Structures are given as structure tokens and as C-alpha cells.
Amino acid sequence: MKLFVGLGNPGAKYARNRHNIGYMAVERIAEDHGFAPWRSKFRGQVSEGRLGGDKVVLLKPETFMNLSGESVAKAMRFYKLDPEDVTVFHDELDLAPSKLRLKSGGGHAGHNGLRSLHSHIGADYARVRLGIGHPGHKDRVAHYVLSDFAKADADWLDDLLRGISDGAPYLAAGDGAKFTNAVALRTVPPKPAAKDKTETRPAAPRPETTDTRSPLQKLVDKFR
């Protein structure tokens, strides 16, 4: 069994915030793969289903971002899971919008949701880092992440979420390469077909021939 956790803040006020892209990811997986209806459990919302041959539990902690670890720890104890069975989807300031990176273990880099997870379950869980871009200055970060995605973000955001859903069975099976490739197929525009570099060269001029006929022969040939 795998536990996929989407980080975010509960309530309609936060639903379209950049900080809630983790919620959006697991919601898309649930919708596209026919998971059970969401229900309240573990101080969060839970949906269960299957991805390929693997049973997967989706969790959206409702403790607010900085206490996310409490909800995740409760779910892990109930299902008797280890940190290696957990994958967390979260926003990433240090990645450009639409970019995604899969990582296992490591630090929390100041992310409040990850900080809480570290304190409750340790660092040995997998993370799907979802790029939202950076506002340019650290003093603007709090307002930026708690603001809604702009209308101009709609297309790349939808492509990213579709790619995550496409690749979710690979992620559940532990095949990170196929997962990231599925995302790339949605988010990276195909390269234009290479032009045929074979040049069409003009035909070489036909060599001139010397007319060796006598003037009399030329006259005869003219009136033939």
C-alpha cells in the first residue's frame, strides 16, 4: 500500500492558491482513476483506490500547512506504513512554473508543510516537487504562495496535473523514471520535425561541343 499526500490549506478561501497545488494533484488523481469519495479521517480528507496493481490512499491534511505532519503520522500508524511508503506532493518556489522534480529524502528547505512532516515522520519519504516559480524577493513569498494562480497559469497547470495523473500508476509502482516521462509528455512541447538538409542542386550545365562541319555541310544540313 502507498500513501500519497497532497499538501495545502483547507477551505474555499485557499482552494486555488499556489500553496494548494499538492491538494490539486491528488484531487486530479482521485477524479481520473475512479477513487472512492473523499471522507473525513486522520484530521484530513481521505480517498482510497487502486493505481495499476497497487492500493493507494490519498490524503489531504486539514490541519493547515504547518501542522500537516500530524495528519500524515496518524494515517501511517493506522495503515502500518513506513516513511518509504509515503509520497508528498507540494509546491516548490525554486522550480519554474510547470516543472516537476521527484526526490527522496533530504531537507525541508524552509517549507512549513515539509518541516512538520520531518518532525513527525522523519525525512525518508518521497516528494513530488511542483514548480510554482518565485516572486523575486523573499519578502513577497508569503503573499505569493497564498495568492491564487493567475488566469495565464491555467494551461500549464492543467497540463501538469494531467501529466501527474497519467503517471500516477508508475509512481505507485516505484518507477520514477516512467512517472516523470509521463509528466513530460504533457508539459514539454514536442520538438519540431528536423528539416531535410539534403539540398537540391541545379543540374550541371551540359558541356559544349565543337561543330566540326564545313560551311558547305552546314548549308546542306539546313535545307534537309
Domain count, the chain: 1
56: CATH:
3.40.50.1470
Assigned domain for 214 exists: no
For the segment 184-193, what is each residue's pLDDT rounded down to a tens digit? 999 987 777 6
More confident residue, 159 or 213: 159
For the segment 81-90, what is each residue's pLDDT rounded down to a tens digit? 999 999 999 9
Give this prediction's pTM.
0.84
3-state secondary structure of 93: coil
Q: Which of 19, 33, 90, 111 is catalytic?
A: 19
Domain that holds residue 36: 2-187
Our answer to whether residue 33 is catalytic in this structure is no
pLDDT at 202: 60
pLDDT at 188: 87
Assigned domain for 85 exists: yes
**Residue 125 burial (10 A CB sphere; 0-12, 13-18, 19+):** buried
Average pLDDT over the chain, rounded to an integer: 91
Assigned domain for 70 exists: yes
Assigned domain for 98 exists: yes
